[in-house]
Amino acid sequence: MIEPQILDHPKDLLLRKERIPHIWCPGCGLGSVLSALMDALRTSGLDLKNVAVVSGIGCTGRAAGYLNLDGFHTTHGRAIPYATGLKLANPDLTVIVFSGDGDLAAIGGNHLIHAARRNVDLKVICANNFNYGMTGGQGGPTTPRLARTTTTSYGNVEKPFNLVQLMAACGASYVARWTSAHPHYMKIAMGEMLKKEGFSFLEVIAPCPTNFGRRNKLRDIKLLQRYLEQAVLESQPDIAKADIELDSPILCGKFVDLERTSYLAALREAISAKVKVYDFRGDGRVPLEEAPVKPAAAKAPGKPAEVPSERPIIERPVQIKLAGLGGQGIGLCGLIIGRAAAIFDHNQAVYTQEYSPEARGGASASSIIVASGQIHAPYVTEPDIMVVMAQGAYNKYQKDVRPGSRLIIDKDLVRPKDLPDSVRIQAIPATRLAEEIGQKVVANIVILGFFTALVPHISLTAMQKALKGSIPKGTEELNLRAFETGYDYGRGGTSDRA
Amino acid sequence: MGKDVLTGTYFLTGNEACAAGALAAGCRFFAGYPITPSSEIAERMSIRLPQVGGVYIQMEDEIASMAAILGASWAGAKSMTATSGPGISLMLENIGLGVMTETPCVVVNVMRGGPSTGLPTLVGQADVMQARWGSHGDYEIIALSPSSPQEAFDYTIRAFNLAETWRVPVILLMDEVVGHMRERVVIPEKKDIKVANRRGPSEPPGKFKIFKSKKDLIPEMPVAGQGYAVHVTGLTHDERGYPAIEWEAQEKLVSRLVQKIRLNSAKIASWEETGVEGAEIVLVSYGISTRICRAVREMAREKGINLGLLRLEIIWPFPEKRVREMAGRIKAFLTVEINYGQIALEVERCAAGKCLTRLVGHGGGTVHDPKKVFQAVEEIA
Ligand code: SF4
């Protein structure tokens, strides 16, 4: 007598057997879709170690958990962005999104259209059963008009999404539709998708007899029979005729199969031309064999700073405010002062800038506090020095000019008024001098040179070094000349109360 | 391959320093969505990541950004996103998924004034409680709060190291002022930067259970493509990662998620004490408000008032034990934060009536005026 031998079914290798039986109802279409995917995977020639399946929430979403592959069962609607992260961080992976119509087209609709638009390399299988099966059969964005669900008791009034049209319009590389009654064609389509670069999308009309069928008088196997009858198979289906009504034909076939530059290819192309070192695989992966290291602050080593001999000692923090109009480069002046003090004078400097919407155009200001010791509060509240380059800026910030402070202005552009006597005004025709050098745009650097000559808190060498490092290449000569002009003007003595 | 650590001395904004810290920590994937006042982090990452072999992608929203960094982490990359109030509200759904699936990643929240759209360009510190329990369900998380651009660099590295070590999304709670202000930032040599990496599987695929934890309550983490056929779900799951919808599984899993942080809080919590010994009054603060408190301490010193400062480097887990100890021997805690009382409640809870607890808070849009904080000090001195 021959002992009966129990062999593994070839598909078993792809299933987590310990997770079977699955949760799906008798007559549900999802099993056929999963089965077709397993067939397609088995014959794809892919190294299955590198295949990941991502799903969202719902009956279909459970599929990721039945396959013996890397599987990710994510939040409702978010399978596609999750899959995007997987794919981009490891382009060797073949990433399949397997989810339902509610998940992908309602709550995840935004992700769906953007992934198709980017043409990101994902294989999206959408099992469309026209309702929310898992939560008891509510209507959704693909529910046909007049169909009954638990939330459309009088018949659905909304026009449903035509998913294949939507995906084609968004730029998907591959778009097809079959029903779960067509396992062979499903498998072919899935096989093509697995080879395809870019975003590919397969809609499978799958019966949900338990909820959708029951409420639309198509119980048990009747719903599948109906889909089989309704299906129209065409080799070149016309996507304009792909709407689905309760009783309409369901047009099936391949709607789009184009060579479109995928997201990854576009990224490689765009970046490799400009950044020679580009390599997606690179060192993005975490080395896995290393033992964890105790978390510790990566404190800066605090090299003994080489203190420049001319470093100004600033006992009490000095507050500086610079104001001008957009385009005058007043922010750059602040940056240079900050860099000079913080990097080259080895003092402390805090730079802040106005970030209010009205700072776009119009008068704006930036502020620096410099000190030899620590600076705590970051904002300039009582400026010791104000530099103002335009009347508009003067009008706006005049309130900040305090008795006893120093006010540095462009002589031709600012007419100070209503100031306490104790304010020390120092003026320079910065814009005029800049024009004489050749370019009005360096007026800010002229005034910076002037500032350096007058103010003892930042050393000349530090300022020169910071200036060099802060201006575009090719403009060094002009900027240095502007700086010297302002500096010389300041050294030549300037009249208070210009 | 370009350099990931640009050693040198710079004058950087907190946001720029944060991006530099991320790269130094090994971050190679960034997904984000523009939002003030955090956008400079995304901008900087979009330039720098390609130079070091990483990927930057701008997603369609913050929900997608958060989902993408979780996916990238499971593909083996250290990943990050950066946002502000309205964006963090959208990310919370998937931060919960990150907690449940123990996915290392870093989420930067450059706090602005809220609720809702609030003050896009101005500072707030009111997302502190949200950082802790913003997503639904019960969990513990780690959140750090830098108070200068240098710390933005250092703490971003710490954030990645903590995320990799404890397998939890780590939140870097910056604020608008720290994000936008510039200061000197020293980027050390690459060899001087300590980088922690997640623990990979110690056994080959087969028997290996991907959510079976070690003694320290942290499971080893295989990633996609390694042959482990990982199963990762946001549902309550067993050690194999399979859904287990029953209270026993919930108890086992969620208690571990909570305890791996709580029981280790002595290792994780981090704070700085200044002048606390012998002080009658101790200021409690974090982020930008710390700096205001330092200014207040100087004012107090001039007036001969002995004022201590307890500054939270890591906000969550909160240094409960230390606050309890201190409460027994001081007169008062004064919490200084830009909100109407969030950490102040923690301080009050831990002080448990053993000393006075007061809040100096406001609704946001600016930092505290040191004079006003000092007034509050004088009132209870
Ligand atoms: S409820 Fe519907 S979709 Fe869900 S398993 Fe049952 S038949 Fe399938």
Residue-wise pLDDT tens digits, A434-447: 999 989 999 999 99
Nearest by CB to residue B180, choosing from A70, A349, A353, is A353
Phi/psi of residue A60, nearest 5 degrees: -65, -35
- Does position A296 have pLDDT exceeding 80, yes or no? no
- Does position A272 have pLDDT exceeding 80, yes or no? no
Cβ atoms of residues A29 and A182 within 8 Å: no
For the segment A269-291, the average pLDDT, to the nearest whole number, is: 50
Sign of the dihedral through C-alpha B91, B93, B95, B98 = negative
What pLDDT digit, counting tens, does each position of A32-46 carry? 999 999 999 999 999
Task: Label residue A12 by pLDDT band (50, 70, 90).
Answer: confident
| pLDDT given for residue A228 in this prediction | 95
What is the maximum alpha-carbon separation in chain A? Answer: 120
Kindly give the distance from the C-alpha atom of residue A438 to the centroid of ligand 1, in angstroms, as a whole number. Answer: 77
Sign of the dihedral through C-alpha A112, B27, B81, A279 = negative
Task: Give the Cα separation of A55 and A60 in Å (integer).
Answer: 8
Question: Is A30 close to ligand 1, i.e. is its CB under 6 Å away?
Answer: yes
| pLDDT given for residue A290 in this prediction | 34
Cβ atoms of residues B76 and A90 within 8 Å: yes
| pLDDT given for residue A279 in this prediction | 41
Q: How far is A297 from chain B (nearest CA, A)?
A: 5
| pLDDT given for residue A493 in this prediction | 65
Task: Label residue A214 by pLDDT band (50, 70, 90).
Answer: very high
Coil, strand, or helix at residue A407? strand
What pLDDT digit, counting tens, does each position of A100-114 carry? 999 999 999 999 999
| pLDDT given for residue A287 in this prediction | 38
Residues 4-63 of B with CB under 8 A from A: 4, 9-11, 21, 24-26, 28-29, 31, 36-37, 50-55, 57, 59-61, 63
Sheet holding B8-13, edge to edge: A424-428, A406-410, A385-388, A318-325, A363-371, A348-353, B182-187, B8-13
What pTM was computed for the model? 0.93
Question: Is A210 close to ligand 1, i.e. is its CB under 6 Å away?
Answer: yes
Closest CA to A210 of A56, A62, A59, A20: A59
Question: Is A130 close to ligand 1, i.e. is its CB under 6 Å away?
Answer: no
Kindly give the distance from the C-alpha atom of residue B241 to the centroid of ligand 1, in angstroms, as a whole number. Answer: 23
What pLDDT digit, counting tens, does each position of A130-167 carry? 999 999 999 999 999 999 999 999 999 999 999 999 99
> Which residues of A fall within a CB distance of 8 Å from B170?
none
Cβ atoms of residues A338 and B182 within 8 Å: yes
Lowest mean pLDDT: which of A191-205, A212-226, B341-355? A212-226
Residues 319-358 of B with CB under 8 A from A: none
Nearest by CB to residue A376, choosing from B4, B226, B295, is B295
With residues binned 3-state (H G I as helix, E B as strand, rest as coil), the percentages for chain B, rounded to 5, are 40, 25, 35
Hey, are the CB atoms on B75 and A90 less than 8 Å from each other? yes
Phi/psi of residue A7, nearest 5 degrees: -100, 155
What is the H or E stretch that residue A39 is in? helix A30-42
Cβ atoms of residues B6 and B187 within 8 Å: yes
A404 by Cβ neighbours in 10 Å (0-12 / 13-18 / 19+) ranks as exposed
Q: Which atom, in ligand 1's list, is nearest to the CA of A27?
A: 7
| pLDDT given for residue B280 in this prediction | 96
Buried b (16+ CB within 10 A) or exposed e, A169-181: ebbbbbbbbbbbb
Tally of CB atoms within 10 A around A256: 18
Closest CA to A124 of A57, A183, A179, A196: A196
Question: Is A256 close to ligand 1, i.e. is its CB under 6 Å away?
Answer: no
Q: Which residues pair with A460 in a beta bridge?
A: none
Q: Kindly give, in sequence order, each residue whose CB lies less than 8 Å from that of residue B379, ignoring residues fewer than 6 positions away.
A: none
Kindly give the distance from the C-alpha atom of residue A464 to the centroid of ligand 1, in angstroms, as a whole number. Answer: 74
Hey, are the CB atoms on B366 and A379 less than 8 Å from each other? yes
| pLDDT given for residue A355 in this prediction | 64
Chain B residue with minimal CA distance to A354?
A: B121
Task: Label residue A354 by pLDDT band (50, 70, 90).
Answer: confident
Question: Is A204 close to ligand 1, i.e. is its CB under 6 Å away?
Answer: no
Cβ-based contacts under 8 A for chains A and B: 312
| pLDDT given for residue A358 in this prediction | 55
- Does position A300 have pLDDT exceeding 70, yes or no? no
For the segment A231-253, the average pLDDT, to the nearest whole number, is: 96
Residues 69-88 of B with CB under 8 A from A: 69-79
- Does position A498 have pLDDT exceeding 50, yes or no? no
* B271 vs A: CB within 8 A: no
What pLDDT digit, counting tens, does each position of A379-427 carry? 999 999 999 999 999 999 999 999 999 999 999 999 998 888 899 999 9
| Average model confidence (pLDDT) across chain A | 90
The pLDDT profile of chain B, 381 residues, written as one tens digit per residue, is: 578 999 999 999 999 999 999 999 999 999 999 999 999 999 999 999 988 889 999 999 999 999 999 999 999 999 999 999 999 999 999 999 999 999 999 999 999 999 999 999 999 999 999 999 999 999 999 999 999 999 999 999 999 999 999 999 999 999 999 999 999 999 999 999 999 999 999 999 988 999 999 899 999 999 999 999 999 999 999 999 999 999 999 999 999 999 999 999 999 999 999 999 999 999 999 999 999 999 999 999 999 999 999 999 999 999 999 999 999 999 999 999 999 999 999 999 999 999 999 999 999 999 999 999 999 999 998
Residues 114-143 of B with CB under 8 A from A: 120-122
Q: ipTM score here?
A: 0.97
Dihedral Cα B108, B110, B113, B118, nearest 10 deg:
-70
> Which residues of B fall within a CB distance of 8 Å from A70?
74, 224-225, 228-230
| pLDDT given for residue A268 in this prediction | 84
Chain B residue with minimal CA distance to A299?
A: B154
> What sections of B232-353 are H helices per DSSP?
247-262, 265-268, 288-302, 320-327, 343-351
- Does position A359 have pLDDT exceeding 60, yes or no? no
For the segment A276-297, the average pLDDT, to the nearest whole number, is: 39
What pLDDT digit, counting tens, does each position of A57-114 carry? 999 999 989 999 999 999 999 999 999 999 999 999 999 999 999 999 999 999 999 9
Output the six-digit token pair for B305: 């008032």
Selected for mutation to probe chain A from B45, B51, B181, B371 (highest A CB count within 10 Å) is B181
Chain B residue with minimal CA distance to A108?
A: B64
